[in-house]
Structure 1
Amino acid sequence: MTIRDDHALAADLATEAGERLLRVRERTGFADSRALRDAGDQSAHRYLMEALARLRPSDSVLSEEATREERLDPRRLTADRVWIVDPLDGTREFSEEGRADWAVHVALWERRDGRGVLTAGAVALPAQGRTLSTAQPPKLPGLPAGAVGRESRVRIAVSRTRPPEFVQKLAYLVGAELVPIGSAGAKISAVLTGEVEAYVHAGGQYEWDSAAPVAVALAAGAHTSRIDGSPLTYNQADPSLPDILVSLPELAPTLLAGIRDLHR
């Protein structure tokens, strides 16, 4: 592994964890989906925790696969550097043969000038053969001409299994098409690569579901916020972060206005 800085480290770790997950998939097979999910979660988590302990021993880590006691460790809240990782985002998709919409998330949160910010991050999409990272942020696509309105070509990524009802109403209001995609990392990556123009979610997530893809989205110049327009905040005592909007920047005002109208 070549380690140049935190940006490169995030990309290296996410990519290597993803390659290990592909090997787990190949070795375990798809006959027992629970066994495959468990094997994947543990393999990627173990690798990331061991690598960060070795390479960034002074930093704290918040991982989806950590124990409850580890997540509640108060030292994380006073740390200046915290890695927020999701070793396998989209376990359902990982366990389904042929699906590529699952990811590995590695993000770095730092305390700077009295506030916390995401400073580095990477999203590996192993089954798609690519990693998006702050080391080399993707170039955002432009918004299609005439994208908003009845003849809209705007596409909004939503959950495959639990798309929020209000997002269906929002799509009708702005004339958008809903595109079901698996993991949150895959959805936000789809915004950055031009497969969709926005991702809207409400109804439950945690910091590790979005920290890494939001870090990359911010580096790329995308809009990121809660659905009420307020900032996304990380390394909180309660890691719940229940809603999110990521979109091309020129589309955000229309989506936020539509969300406000629907919640009146």
Structure 2
Amino acid sequence: MMILGSEVNMVSKNIDIDYITFRNVSKQFNSGNNINQILKSSSLKLNEGSFSVVVGPSGTGKTTLLNMIAGFDKPTSGEILIAGNKIIKPSPKHSVVFQSPTLFPWKTILGNIFCALDHKKLPKKTKLSLCDQILDEVGLSNYKKHYPHELSGGMQQRVGIARALIMLPDILLMDEPFSALDHKTREDMQDLVINIWLKHGLTILFVTHSIEEAVKISTDVLILKNGSVEVIKNNVNHPRAHDDNDLMKLKYDIEFKIKHAD
């Protein structure tokens, strides 16, 4: 749980504790006589406080994997557990950031974030204080009275991240959130999410097509290929430089494994 105010008790994260667990998970989609097998009896464990990034060729099920953890979709067989509890439906503790932030165009930036707290029984003053804190954290304090159309794509995605974080999640699920951004903005957003992760100890699962992005931000890289999942550890310390030899080797290894998938 992240802390955004004195009303919230912080739970410390231990990156050595198994947190997200796949037990013999299979997922397939049937279309007429065709069967698209996304996962084949896959088992894996992701630690609490990890920053796991999912990569793989198009159509291998990266978003499907994320949707199953979010509770939007269910495995064909097997089970997925978080902290020992089977996922049966979506939870506000598992916030999702999509490729498009899907903001309400008629609401201000503050309004877009504030409405995410509608279900919480907190005084309005407390909610506004939480909004101010998260707006400051994502660098939007000076834009809270603006409307979405007045912001750049990168700034709109910051609003999407703020709206997810205001839910005080234990897990942040991100589905290619920076794919539509230009290179410089994308790098800035990567740095923002890394800083949020380092500060709050969230468990993050992030889907991307960019291997360069994956090695920059991850603690674990999940390679999806032909129905299987291979987990590769990324132990390079932050801050990470693009020309770091260990990162370059890791990037090459991941590219090789994807290209030569069995």
- Same fold judged by TM-score > 0.5? no
The two structures have a TM-score, normalised by structure 1, of 0.27
The two structures have a TM-score, normalised by structure 2, of 0.27
Determine which structure has the larger helix proportion and give its number.
1
Q: Which has the higher contact order (CA 8 A, sep 6+)?
A: 2
